[in-house]
C-alpha cells in the first residue's frame, strides 16, 4: 500500500521550492495606512516596527522612513523603497549581531590559533 502525499500549497507552474512561492511578498504588504499619506509597518502579532510618511522637501515629493524608535532610516522616492529600507532595519535589529562565532568554524578563534602555531 503506497501513501500518496498531496501538495498542501499549490504551485502556479509546478514549482517545488518555497522561495518561488514566497517570491511575490514585499514589505509594502506590511504597511497599514492609518491616515492619508502615513503608513505603519506592522509585524505578525501587531508589533509596530516602523513608519513611512509621504513628505515634501522643497520641490521634491518622497517618502520618509522611520524605525520603531522614531529614528530616521532615510528618504526615498517610492513607497516600496521606503518600506523595504524600514523592513531591513527591523531585520537587522532582530538579528544576533554580537554573538560569538563557533570556535571551530572556518575563520573561528581556535582555527586561527592553530594556523598561527603552524606558521
Tens-place pLDDT, residues 14-61: 445 545 555 677 888 889 999 999 999 998 888 899 999 999 988 999
From 14-28, 80-94, 97-111, the region with the lowest mean pLDDT: 97-111
Domain total in the chain: 1
The answer to whether residue 58 sits within a structural domain is yes
Domain extent at residue 74: 18-94
Residue 113: its H or E element:
helix 109-118
Cα–Cα dist 40/83, whole Å: 9
In a domain, 99, yes or no: no
- Residue range 101-110: mean pLDDT, rounded: 53
User: Is there a domain that residue 7 lies in?
Assistant: no
C-alpha to C-alpha distance for 103 and 109, rounded to whole angstroms: 5
pLDDT on residue 19: 52
pLDDT band for 10, please (50, 70, 90 cuts). very low
pLDDT of residue 9: 45
Q: Considering the domain boundaries, does residue 28 fall inside one? A: yes
What pLDDT sits at residue 26? 81
CA 103/CA 90 separation, integer angstroms: 28
Answer yes or no: is 78 within a domain. yes
Share of the chain above pLDDT 90, in %: 45
100 vs 67 pLDDT, higher one: 67
Q: Is residue 43 part of a domain?
A: yes
* 61 within domain boundaries: yes
On average, the pLDDT of the chain sits at 75
Amino acid at each position: 500500500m503506497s501513501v500518496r502525499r498531496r501538495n498542501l500549497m499549490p504551485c502556479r507552474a509546478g514549482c517545488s521550492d518555497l522561495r518561488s512561492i514566497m517570491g511575490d511578498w514585499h514589505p509594502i504588504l506590511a504597511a497599514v495606512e492609518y491616515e492619508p499619506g502615513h503608513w505603519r509597518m506592522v509585524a505578525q502579532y501587531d508589533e509596530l516596527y516602523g513608519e513611512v510618511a509621504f513628505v515634501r522637501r522643497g520641490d521634491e515629493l518622497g517618502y520618509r522612513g522611520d524605525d520603531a524608535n522614531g529614528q530616521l532610516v532615510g528618504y526615498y522616492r517610492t513607497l516600496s523603497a521606503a518600506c523595504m529600507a524600514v523592513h531591513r532595519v527591523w531585520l537587522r535589529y532582530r538579528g544576533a549581531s554580537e554573538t560569538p562565532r563557533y570556535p571551530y568554524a572556518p575563520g573561528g578563534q581556535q582555527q586561527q590559533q592553530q594556523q598561527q602555531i603552524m606558521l
